[in-house]
A and B are shown apart, each in its own frame.
Chain A
Amino acid sequence: QQQVRQSPQSLTVWEGETAILNCSYEDSTFNYFPWYQQFPGEGPALLISIRSVSDKKEDGRFTIFFNKREKKLSLHITDSQPGDSATYFCAARSNYNVLYFGSGTKLTVEP
């Protein structure tokens, strides 16, 4: 059973547009939701994260919107840049040392 789901699988936007990446989860005990960014051939790196007590987290052009009741969250990337082209993974964990990743969204930003 997949604990974390992401959509779309791939997304193409023009430079300057807002990219919206979606994520949903199953386990209601999950309380921490990081988003990781991965470039080809590299390990992923933490981009931004949110805890379940918050409904929004902003860091520059990146914003997470969190809906605990619906078990959904989304990552908004405003003013998208070609350098943002990467695969984005939503992840989730509860109070144990296991982090579950979604299947990823491959974002392409066209100049």
Chain B
Amino acid sequence: AQTIHQWPVAEIKAVGSPLSLGCTIKGKSSPNLYWYWQATGGTLQQLFYSITVGQVESVVQLNLSASRPKDDQFILSTEKLLLSHSGFYLCAWSRGGTGSAETLYFGSGTRLTVL
């Protein structure tokens, strides 16, 4: 069975400080990986996706970056946090391959508070 693990569960950070969030998928080789951001009580906005190691596509520019250093790992980061970065960050995976419809399986998320 596939499992998705996000870390940390929650973070409280100061404006201007760096950030690194992680996501690991076990039990599935070559998945498509995604980062989503959700404001409190709001919709989910796709930030990045990756279909293979070392390749990341940006969907929305929010002064964040993403990397995929390993087949099963997806990292979201920034060198300088803004107040607007607060929210719920969700990692998701789907079966590999481009295009067409695939179910997204979401992790349990990281709650980020920027003060």
B103 at the interface (CB under 8 A from A): yes
Q: How far is the CA of A103 from the CA of B59 in the complex (A)?
A: 18
Closest 3 CB pairs of A and B: A43-B106, A32-B101, A95-B99
A99→B99 contact, CB < 8 A:
no
State the total of A-B contacts with C-beta under 8 angstroms: 56
Q: How far is the CA of A44 from the CA of B46 in the complex (A)?
A: 13
Interface size class of A (residues with CB under 8 A): 20 to 34
Chain B residue total in the interface (Cβ 8 A): 24
- Contacts from A to B (Cβ < 8 Å): 31-32, 34, 36, 41-46, 49, 51, 89, 93, 95-104
- Contacts from B to A (Cβ < 8 Å): 32, 34, 42-46, 49, 51, 57, 59, 90, 92, 98-101, 103-109
